[in-house]
Structure 1
Amino acid sequence: MAYAMDTKGRQKSKGGKQIVAAIDIGTTYSGYAYSFAHDFRKDPMKVYGITNWFPGTVHLVTSKTPTILLLNNDKTFKAFGYEAENMYGELQPEGVQKDYYYFKSFKIVLYNSLELKGDTEITDAFGRTMKAVKVFSIVIEYLKDHLYGGLKHILLDVDDNDIRWVLTVPAIWNDSCKQLMRDAAELAGIQKENLIIVLEPDAASLFCMHLPVARITMEGNMSDSMRVSPFSKGRKYMVVDAGGETVEITIQEVIDSDKPNTLHSFGGAWGGTGVDAAYENFLTTIIGEKTYDRFKTESAEDHIDLLRKFETKKRGVIAGKTGKDVIKIPVCLADVYQETTGKGLKDRICEIREYQDKVKWNGDKIRLDVDIVKSWFDKSCTDIVQLVKKIFHDDKSVGVNTILLVGGFSESQMLQEAMKRNFPDKRLIIPEEGSLMVLKGATIFGHTI
């Protein structure tokens, strides 16, 4: 690939930019990455800007930050990500949270919209509405400015015309959804001539095409015909992008050495947050809905802390583990139960037959059978497996014998084992850091267009 030079003697991408920056706004987590034209020529996989985000309250580090937006009462920016979640937790006990706009999981609105218009609105946690295009533009602007801050930190002199921006979108989105994101990007200060849109499964596939064979983990009983490269020209394969709240499954075909093409797409609201819901249902079964609702309202910071600690726990659940497990719980949860019911939690657990000798609650810890913990993954994993099976029975999947598993939930060993167990005759490819495949692939895409 030939590279031109800019006025400062720096190499430019095929699109005439020295930097490609990608923004991925997910239903649960969001982030950005960038790469340089001079690096791409030598190593397309050399990507920068994958930021470590810290919630500040628990031992948890993520490569993306939660897709949570907090705005002031006048709809101006207040905070995003973990910071927004922390501030919201602090505001609730003070009773002033309704003076703010709090948007969480708002991307799901676009999944459910058959027809979007410029005035389509998103509803926040308190029923207050705001134009969807404005909400997304504020998020894009925040991530854009955060990226610029990183570039300035390494003393890089760049301006808007030095960067080609890539925005990722689901393959199942219609044209109106994609146009809304273009409009949002323009509102965020990205000129339309500097912006390109890439489908998320195309981006994930593109990155995996550049992975050395040694770094591709392949599972399954492979026939001789399956041992050739899954990304050679003309090959068809399935991409299962398992995220936090949504799962998107696409059938793709390689039309050139660096050009995946989405043929068919399917999706639904199944993902890793279903495990969180099962965990909260477990707690509600023990302490009751009234107590749990009071805990979430009066101890919002502790509720956030509870879910973050569980996020750390769920990332380490091993399919083959047996015996007992321990989960950290805020002490105040037991106190709220005592105040609400006049009973102790130890006595309450003894009343639940299915948990006798399997669950013990002591202070800030629950000790329980690991099979109970693993059962919280059942519905999410089963839903994904059943959808994949349904698609394989469709004529559109004829000739597909490879599954590429990516997305945040793809890093769960519970899901990985469920896929291996149910599709032993398929080649299953599980890249490392599956949650970053879309973001990294999007930077590659920006250099090749």
Structure 2
Amino acid sequence: MSTARGKKDTIIVGVDFGTTYSGVSYTFRGKPDPSSEIPVVRGWQEGTGCDKVPTQLKYEVSSEATPLPSRKRCAAGSYADLKAADVHVVKWGFPASKDKGSIQMLKLLLDPQQELPPYVSRTQLESQLKQIGRGVVEATADFLDKLKTQALEALDKRYGKAFMATTKIDYILTVPAVWSDAAKDATLRAAEMAGLHKSRNLQMITEPEAAALYALKQMEGVTLTVGDTYIIADCGGGTVDQISYEVISLDPLRIKECAAGTGGICGSGMLNMRFEEHVKARMGVASFEDYCEKNPKDWGRCIEHFELRTKRDFNPLALAQHPEDMDDMSVPLAGAKEDASSGIERNYLILTPDNLNSIFRPVMESIVRLADEQYNLLIEEGKTPKGIILVGGFGESNHLFNVLKLHFVETKDFEVLQPPNAWSAVARGAVIHCIEGDNLVQARIARHHYGVVTRFAYDPTKHSRKDCIFDEDDEKWYAENQVQWYVKKGQSMPSGTPILLPFHFASSIKLQSEVISLVVSDEDEAPLEWSHTARTRTLGTIQVNLENLGNGKWKKRKTDTGRKFVVLDYNVGMSLGSGGLVFDVRVGEKICGSLRAKYD
């Protein structure tokens, strides 16, 4: 009997690579788990039972001269001469999170265009990577490889090694919606380096879209009606993404994006950074650094307590009517020097409600601003949102829930909602996307103008003389350096319906390939003439292979003077998929192949 299986008999693995925590969810496509019961990996080292694992790595630099257990660490001065084999991940996840020297917030470096908050040092993060001779894509691949290995162990335990040996795995990776296309591509390259592409079916989906699929599926058949519009706030460790969807069908469930997504770096990990800065200010920089150097494990326990207890228990608005009931909170700071004036007593740091409010307030205000921005975008589009749905680990915060509830208290028929399993909603939603298919989301909103640098027939009333050139092949005058915009910012792009970018080439000989320059602009009105600015820039290039098109696709022509040349007309199809831009090349009705942009 044949053991071959079709596409239905595959394992779907959703990978939520987060700024502070990462998670993995999975199901068997042939008999998928109910959306509310899609399992997540929980068997982490030192973190069994937790839905996610810290996105942290600890490397060791060692000599190749001896076996790994007895290798000696290299001196810092030799880092520039490191080879890949000299660098090893010795800790990751929970064990690495307890080490002061671990690499964290790695994800924030994947998109250089995103502005980091003042309490996150890009220079420091880049310096850590430089010391071990790793780029951000390589380090991300190292972490994803560890995550994949742990996921495969979980799959073996559930389905058995014999079953897994003959079953393909389809991976789907999540990325922030506010990321540039280049950053999404960098994440994809890291996943490929980690071996997630071996099934040849690696997909991507934006985090808020995945979260929305999970959240709305839980409401399906209960509270949803056609025409309902909800803001989805994916509040993670590093980023908070907000996106809005309108329900356009219930059976089957179909939704469409109805306002351009917004986001910022104001996740719960920023609270940890602000807490560290607070402690540093209380102790003094020199004393704090001396304490961390001498008591790294104790400082790790302090951060862990703040992460797992203090952040989650802080909920002052629940006691707003009785301020006198708001007690001080304490976190362990074992080994710290007693200093009553700094609030350090008996190995504990005392945090007053004012202290905690000063840590929380800027982050909360940033999230509220994002919610207001998304709400106002919907009103401008003529939509009336019914509420905001909080997902992500930070989305489980009672304090955040109450802050938003108080902020929107005067807004008629608007609710703040918290679905179950909010922390793992993104990973579970990614799996739902693979089960349901791309048809679930019927349309998405373009966040930028997209176009190509091209040339037009020269018109002295429209074009600058400096861009005027004469083409000797077809003996005509053209205006170079022009931009043909095919997608407008804010434009609704139907799923599965590509925008066609037509191209016409004239040449004395048949070309083997052609390079197309993609450009992107964030201006309200996209410029007609190409000029690189802070808001209008090169997105990347597409290498179009023209070798296999066949002789019949090239048409022979003659100029007015009798010169022979050939022309080719073809299209590049551009679609806005769940994870970003997708390209293919078409001649007539035939799709001749998929393309991948090389991003700048």
TMscore range, shorter length: 0.7 to 0.9
Q: Give the CA deviation at 1:208.
A: 1.7
Amino acid at match of 1:428: V
Correspondence for 1:125: 128
Contact preservation (8 Å) 2:110, 2:186: no
Is the 2:11–2:167 contact (alpha carbons within 8 Å) kept by the matching residues of 1?
no
Residues 186, 192 of structure 1: 8 Å contact kept: no
What's the counterpart of residue 417 of structure 1?
Answer: 402
CA distance in 2, matches of 1:108, 1:195: 22
* TM-score when normalising by structure 2: 0.59
* Pair 1:180 & 2:163 matched: no
Alignment of 1:200-239 (within 5 A): 200-212=207-219, 229=224, 232-239=225-232
How far apart, CA to CA, are the structure 2 residues paired with 1:302 and 1:267?
A: 34
2:263 paired with 1:267: yes
Question: Does the C-alpha gap of structure 1 residues 280 and 200 become closer, same or farther in structure 2, counting only changes over 3 Å?
Answer: same
Deviation of residue 31 (structure 1)?
Answer: 1.4
Q: Indicate the residue corresponding to 1:28 in structure 2.
A: 20
Task: State how 1:215-364 maps to structure 2 within 5 Å.
Answer: 229=224, 232-256=225-249, 257-262=252-257, 263-313=259-309, 314-319=311-316, 320-321=318-319, 322-334=325-337, 344-346=338-340, 348-349=341-342, 361-364=344-347
**2: CA distance, partners of 1:36 / 1:402:** 33
Q: Secondary structure at the match of 1:49?
A: coil
Aligned partner of 1:162 in structure 2 is 168
Which residue among 138, 141, 145 is the counterpart of 2:142?
138
Asked which structure has the greater CA Rg, the reply is 2
The change in CA–CA distance for 1:202 and 1:288 in structure 2 (over 3 A counts) is same
- TM-score, L = length of structure 1: 0.77
Instruction: Compare 198-207 and 174-183 and name the one that shifted more.
Output: 174-183
| 1:370 Cα deviation from its structure 2 partner | 4.0
Q: Give the match for residue 425 of structure 2.
A: 437
Greater length-normalized contact order (CA 8 Å, ≥ 6 residues apart):
1
Count of residues in correspondence between the two structures:
386
What aligned pairs does 1:56-205 form with structure 2 within 5 A after superposition? 62-73=50-61, 74-86=86-98, 88-89=99-100, 102-113=102-113, 123-125=126-128, 127-128=130-131, 129-154=133-158, 155-156=160-161, 157-159=163-165, 162-189=168-195, 190-191=197-198, 193-205=200-212
Which residue of 2 is the match for residue 51 of structure 1? 42
- What letter is aligned with 2:187? M
Distance in 2, matches of 1:44 and 1:68, equals: 29
When the two chains are superposed, the root-mean-square deviation of aligned CA atoms in Å is 3.0
Whether the aligned pair in 2 keeps the contact of 1:391 and 1:397 (CA below 8 Å) is: no
2:214 is paired with a residue of what secondary structure?
helix
- Contact 1:324 1:367 survives alignment (8 Å): no
CA distance in 1, matches of 2:280, 2:348: 16
The answer to whether the 8 A contact 1:53-1:63 is kept is no
2:371 is aligned, of 388, 391, 395, to 388
The answer as to whether partners of 1:182 and 1:192 remain within 8 angstroms in 2 is no
Q: CA deviation at 1:384?
A: 0.9
Deviation at 1:16, TM superposition (A): 3.1
1:191-244: per-residue Cα shift (whole Å, max 9, x none)? 262211111111111112221579x8xxxxxxxxxxx61xx4554321111111
Contact 1:202 1:261 in 2 (8 A): no
* Offset from partner CA, 1:152-190 (integer Å, 9 cap, x none): 224242148521111111111232222222222222222
- Secondary structure of 1:197 counterpart: strand
Contact 2:231 2:374 in 1 (8 A): no
Output the CA distance in 2 between the equivalents of 1:427 and 1:47. 26
Distance of 1:440 and 1:7 partners within structure 2:
32
| Uncovered stretches (5+) of structure 2, i.e. residues with no partner | 62-85, 115-124, 320-324, 438-600
CA distance in 1, matches of 2:386, 2:15: 31
After the TM superposition, which parts of structure 1 deviate over 6 Å for at least 4 consecutive aligned residues? none
Alpha-carbon spacing, 1:249–1:327, altered in 2? closer, same or farther (3 Å): same
Q: Which has the higher helix share?
A: 1
> Structure 1's 126 and 363: CA in aligned 2 closer, same or farther, altered over 3 A?
farther
Q: Distance in 1 between matches of 2:352 and 2:35?
A: 46
Aligned to 2:388: 403
The one-letter code sitting in structure 2 at the alignment partner of 1:251 is: S
Change in CA separation of 1:260 and 1:301 when aligned onto 2, cut-off 3 Å: farther
